[in-house]
Amino acid sequence: MQPACLSLRVIPGATLRKPLLLLQPTYTYKPIEAFEQSAPLRFSVPAHGLPGDWPTWIEGSTGWSGLNKDKVREAFRVARVIDENTLEYNELNGLDQSARGGQLVYQLPVDLTGIRARLVIVPEQGPPMELTTENNGLLIAGLGQLVLVLTDGQTAAITWSKAEYTLDITWSNGDVSRWLHGPVELGNGGCCRG
C-alpha cells in the first residue's frame, strides 16, 4: 500500500488535536432513497453504515448539478450522521433543489482493534518527536479514527522551522504499514476575510 501524503499544520503555543481518518482502500456504494428540500441538506440512505461523521461523495444523482462529486478527482464532503438512515451535509442548502437518486460513496473505516500507532516528526535540525498510542500522543477515537495530540507546551517548545513526519501502524499480527507521511508546517493561526 502506498502511504497517503498529508501536511500537518502546527501553531506554536497552541494545542493541536488533529483527527486522522484511516480508510479502507475499496469503496462502498449505497443507494440514496430521497433528498429533503431542507437547509442544511438531509438525505435518506437506508442502513448507510457510517460510523459517525465521515468523508463521502455522491455520484449519479440528477436535478442538482453541484451535488455530484468525482471520488477520484474531487474532495469529499463530510456527512453528518443523523440516524441509521439519515445523513446531512451542513454546508449545502437544499431548499430550492430537486435532487433525485444517485449513490452515496465512501470508504469503510479501518478496524484499529489491537493496533499500535507511532507518529514521528523529524525536524531539519534537532531531535525527533515521537507520539504513540502508548504515550497518549495518538488516541484511538473509534473505528478508523486516530487523534494526534500535541499539548500547548509541546508546540511552544518547537525550535525548528521545517520538519517531515511519518505515521506507522503495527497490526495485531506484527505487520507494520506506513500509513501517512508529509511535511509539518508552522503557522500562526488562520485568516479571516472582511
Yes or no: say if 153 and 9 are a contact pair by the CB < 8 Å rule.
no
Query: What is the pLDDT, as a whole number, of residue 135?
Result: 86
103-109: strand order across its sheet: 23-31, 103-109, 54-59, 77-83, 86-89, 41-44, 34-35
| Reported confidence tier of residue 12, pLDDT bands at 50, 70, 90 | very high
pTM of the model: 0.82
Residues 6+ apart with CB under 8 A from 12: 155, 156, 158, 186, 188
Residues 6+ apart with CB under 8 A from 73: none
| Reported confidence tier of residue 189, pLDDT bands at 50, 70, 90 | low
Q: Is the pLDDT of residue 110 over 70?
A: yes
Give the whole-number percent of the chain exceeding pLDDT 90: 86
166 versus 194: the higher-pLDDT residue is 166
Give the whole-number percent of the chain exceeding pLDDT 70: 96
* Average pLDDT along the chain: 93
What domains are there in the chain, each with its CATH number? 4-22+112-186 (2.60.40.10), 25-108 (2.40.30.180)
Q: Which tens digit of pLDDT belongs to each residue from 59-101?
A: 999 999 899 999 999 999 999 999 999 999 999 999 999 999 9
Yes or no: say if 121 and 182 are a contact pair by the CB < 8 Å rule.
no
Which amino acid is residue 137, in one-letter code?
A: G
